[in-house]
Structure 1
Amino acid sequence: MGTAASGQDNGGIKLLNFAEQKIKMLHLTWFAFFLTFVIWFAHAPLLIHIKEALALTDAQIKALLILNVAMTIPARIVVGMLVDRYGPRIIYTVVLFISALLCIGFAFAQTYAALAMFRFLLGFVGAGFVIGIRLVGEWFPHHQVGTAEGIYGGWGNFGSAAAAMTLPALALTFGGEDGWRYAIASVGVISAVYALVFYYFARNTPKGSVYFKPKKTGAMVVTSWRDLYLLMLMNIPMHLALGMLAWRLSPSGVNLFSINMMYALWALLAVLLVLQTQQTWRINAEHLRTGVPEADKYSFKQVAILNVAYFATFGSELAVVSMLPLYFLETFEGLTAIEAGLLASGFAFMNLVSRPMGGWFSDKFGRRKSMLILIAGLASGYFVMGLMDSHWWIPLAVFATMACSFFVQAGEGAVFAIVPLIKRSMTGQIAGMAGAYGNVGAVIYLTVLSYVSYSNFFYVIAASALVGLFAVMFLDDPKGHITEIGEDGTVHRISVG
């Protein structure tokens, strides 16, 4: 038997039809994600006030920005496992509430050490995205899931732009030298209240459906020896990215801590990689030796390809959003910092439309075909951005930037249109790993930017996107059914294409 979410519903997604439980759940979930992104990037538009209040140096500000993304890579992996084990309702509630406390702690930090600690811990907030991917995947059938996940991701991602548009005005409304503190803290209060709202109204699955859990926890479970070796290989870049972040915080970068501290962190990351590899082997070797039932099998190759695709899509988005205001300011003469920021904001603003469109393309025209077209468009878009210089007409440069961002964010939507269709009981872990690879991409791209010109930076992204395009050629379109086995031993067939 299939789950309710796999039942046929041939109509489109009617976002104002609140009589439908799945529509209520979609709105409830995207707003939870929206709040996590407001919290995650609440500091960005208020950095000038934070810098003045605590008399920070430019290096200390840069360190805060690096710390903001460091925790997100491991957090997405861990939260992915937790959501598969305990369900989205409880885990999103916990994430929203912990995020609220960390947000308030950051707002009222009185020293740079406290500020840096809370900023590092707030990287955990970025894991909220993973939870909703599993929840939305439970509620929507395969022919709507891409559009629904795109709406969830695109509207939620808009939280960073919403923070930039509203928090400076809110800080001004509060007034005084602590106005920025109250503005940031107010977001934390809203998140704490919404945690209770979410817990009260959210449900893991439609009524009568089964919430499938992985048979083992502690590491991702794969179903062939080849997949096990590929999984262990795919774990390495995440540790390398964290090592790169430690290097950027050392005297070679922003000088937050000593070179000896960097070496100590590298040694710790090496030990953690060894322990993770041992754990992955231990969790998987036993059941692979005894043989995996045909009904339980899935292809980890699909996950690896989506990781590479999200590296190029979301990784480049995070990196470009971070540098684009400065790029416009330094490239085009006569722009003020405010004007450059407004022109650059178009890149993130496109999320509202682009990501849902990517999911819709995937639902309508096929998963693999959509990915190929969108990543090819992304590579072309970044190549064109590499050609831009101070002689370009500014409106044309903005148009080229927004056209590129459409393909970037639509590509993200297409990636997560496939994630819920691989292995239902492990959707959280698959989403967590793909999401972590997005952050890995951002770390690597921003590190490249510190060594090359803006034009070469865009060319590097374009070239790496071609690697992603090649990988997507080996992606299999989800077809027919996937099979899950309930805790009582009953077999459930879930339609995926």
Structure 2
Amino acid sequence: MLRTLFSFRNRYRILHLTWFAFFLSFVVWFDVAPFATTIQRELHLTSPQLKVLAICNLALTIPARIVIGMVLDRYGPQLTFSALLMFAVVPCWLTATAHDFNQLVWSSLINSILGAGFVVGVRMVAEWFSFKEIGLAQGIYGGWGNFGAAAAQFCLPVLAVAIASFTGGSLNWRMAIATIGFVTAIYSIIYWRYTQDTPPDEVYQRPKRHGGLEVTSQRSFWAISLLDLGLLISLGLLTYSLAQNNIQFLTFKQAHFIWLFLGLLYAVQFYKAWQINREIVGSLNPFSSEFLKPSQHYPLNERYQVRQIALLDFTYLTNFGSQITVISILPTWFEQTFGLNPVTASLVATAYPVLNLVSRPSGGLISDRAGSRKWTMTGLTIGIGIGYLLMGKLDAGSNLTVAIGLMMLSAYFVQAGAGATFSIVPFIRKPVTGQIAGSVGAYGNVGGVIYLLLYSLSNAQTLFYSMGITALICASLCAFLLQEPQSSVATNSPETAIASIE
């Protein structure tokens, strides 16, 4: 695969068009970050208000990844990604025309939906690459596409300066953001024109029912319900952070109303999931003779374990969740711990996301070649734990070179671990790969929410130790509970890719 990677033919054309679509969605998602101080100065925003915008830019990504996963499984990645890229015009235009804090809040909330773009390409790549190459292909897709977050920091200010030189005046951040939205919309047409859901003569497999994840056992239904509850709890934590005294974007009365809404949303979601799986679950009426008595049973060899989804959710929380957290705090950490000036600190910290170009694909490649995806996942997660525990020992008296080396070591294991995670996701159950990828991707954002909240209540040292201990716990669970994907099953039976006994 490496020899023909840049041929731009057949499946490689699909891979390159798809990672670049993901790249653009991330550029749009992080389009405000490079201009944060400029926007703060022009619109007279406070530092707490900037924190609110950062939180809002993350808020809807969690539910959006779940919804996009459902849409993806039903309509296919070609249409879903094209529509999402065209939608980028909306938040970019709203941001470019914003004149006060409230308008920026709404544009940031809508913009956070673009973070769901990642889910779409996971299934597109899975449709075009065999199980022997899926890890590397997913790693390239995720790693090169993720670079869009770093590219936004470099490219958008340059674009703003270039526009200003033609139009006159100061840094034109408004036109830069509007332009990238327009470019992304144009690319959506290109993506629609030159991609297709599956290779020729293959049929795109859709779930039999839509609106929720189909499960194959009663135990799996309750497990997936708990996973859904975890996502809504994370949104509750986001709401809590917006109601804190140092931010006060929401009053606690408004926060209570949102929490009530989230509770009702979970009830609706639970009922919808039961409707889809009622033959497996049975009646939920405690007075019925059919209470929790399923009318349909899947044979053991056709079942898949939701436990495997939960483990992958946890691994992605551990690696990608910590990644987006560390990227957020590294410049400040280097500046405050080692006395670097802000520019130097930002340049040093940039090495962390840039490493994604190599480390995430290498994680997928190791998973393909090592002979065991389970033990690859376990080993990389152990590396994450050790790396963060060592970073937790750094202080003002530490050597800067050693600190940078430990940062890069941790970054490698974190990003390679993310690549290894999505080398396993497509093997669980092919017709619902989008929904599974949505759950795993959403839990990555949940990790970011939890870790950033912990950081706001403590300090960087506590954060690093907590992330390290969490990673070692995750590695232990993977060692004992994660199943090795059965590649022969994944190839021969699209209905199930991990045979299991529950």
Q: Compute the TM-score of the two structures, normalised by the length of structure 1.
A: 0.93
Residue 460 (structure 2) pairs with residue 471 (structure 1): no
Runs of 4+ residues deviating >6 angstroms: 493-497
Cα shift at 1:279: 1.8
2:298 is aligned, of 292, 296, 299, to 292
CA distance in 2, matches of 1:69, 1:495: 32
2:192 is aligned, of 199, 202, 211, to 199
Residue 16 (structure 2) pairs with residue 27 (structure 1): yes
Cα shift at 1:46: 0.7
Corresponding residue of 2:103: 114
1:79 is aligned, of 62, 68, 71, to 68
Cα shift at 1:482: 3.5
AA aligned to 1:340 is A
Corresponding residue of 1:362: 367
Corresponding residue of 2:260: 267
Residue 126 (structure 2) pairs with residue 137 (structure 1): yes
The C-alpha deviation readout for 1:395-429, integer Å capped at 9, x for no partner, is 22111101100000000000000011111101100
Q: How does 1:57-96 map to 2 (within 5 A)?
A: 57-96=46-85
Corresponding residue of 2:284: none
Runs of 5+ unmatched residues, structure 1: 1-10, 486-490
CA distance in 2, matches of 1:382, 1:484: 37
Corresponding residue of 1:5: none
Cα shift at 1:294: 5.4
CA distance in 1, matches of 2:76, 2:226: 28
CA distance in 1, matches of 2:413, 2:38: 35
Corresponding residue of 1:179: 172
CA distance in 1, matches of 2:347, 2:490: 48
CA distance in 2, matches of 1:347, 1:174: 29
The C-alpha deviation readout for 1:378-402, integer Å capped at 9, x for no partner, is 0000001101111122122111101
Q: How does 1:303-452 map to 2 (within 5 A)?
A: 303-333=309-339, 335-365=340-370, 366-452=372-458
CA distance in 1, matches of 2:99, 2:69: 33
Cα shift at 1:248: 1.0
Residue pair 1:296, 1:484 contacting (<8 A) in 2 also: no
CA distance in 1, matches of 2:496, 2:204: 12
AA aligned to 1:421 is F
Corresponding residue of 1:8: none
Residue 21 (structure 2) pairs with residue 14 (structure 1): no
The C-alpha deviation readout for 1:164-223, integer Å capped at 9, x for no partner, is 012112212222246011111111011010000000001100001111001111111111
CA distance in 1, matches of 2:129, 2:268: 37
How many residues get paired?
480
Cα shift at 1:111: 2.1
Cα shift at 1:153: 0.1
The C-alpha deviation readout for 1:76-112, integer Å capped at 9, x for no partner, is 0000010000000000001001112211221221222
Change (3 A) 1:494 1:464: closer
AA aligned to 1:395 is T
Corresponding residue of 1:53: 42
Q: What SS does the aligned partner of 1:388 have? A: coil
2:138 is aligned, of 149, 154, 178, to 149
Residue pair 1:238, 1:437 contacting (<8 A) in 2 also: yes
Corresponding residue of 1:7: none
| Percent pairwise identity | 39
Residue pair 1:38, 1:162 contacting (<8 A) in 2 also: yes
Change (3 A) 1:225 1:253: farther
Q: What SS does the aligned partner of 2:396 have? A: coil
Residue pair 2:338, 2:396 contacting (<8 A) in 1 also: yes
Q: Compute the TM-score of the two structures, normalised by the length of structure 2.
A: 0.93
Corresponding residue of 1:36: 25
AA aligned to 2:355 is M
Q: How does 1:121-132 map to 2 (within 5 A)?
A: 121-132=110-121
CA distance in 2, matches of 1:461, 1:103: 34
Q: What SS does the aligned partner of 2:230 have? A: helix
Residue pair 1:161, 1:345 contacting (<8 A) in 2 also: yes
Residue pair 2:430, 2:497 contacting (<8 A) in 1 also: no
CA distance in 1, matches of 2:188, 2:315: 32
Corresponding residue of 2:286: none
CA distance in 1, matches of 2:17, 2:304: 31
Residue pair 2:56, 2:108 contacting (<8 A) in 1 also: yes
Change (3 A) 1:93 1:61: same
CA distance in 1, matches of 2:126, 2:60: 25
The C-alpha deviation readout for 1:218-239, integer Å capped at 9, x for no partner, is 1111111111111111112211
AA aligned to 2:141 is Y
Cα shift at 1:282: 2.2
Cα shift at 1:456: 1.1
Residue pair 2:22, 2:117 contacting (<8 A) in 1 also: yes
Cα shift at 1:16: 1.5
Corresponding residue of 1:4: none
CA distance in 2, matches of 1:39, 1:125: 7
The C-alpha deviation readout for 1:9-45, integer Å capped at 9, x for no partner, is xx55621222x30000000000000000000011111
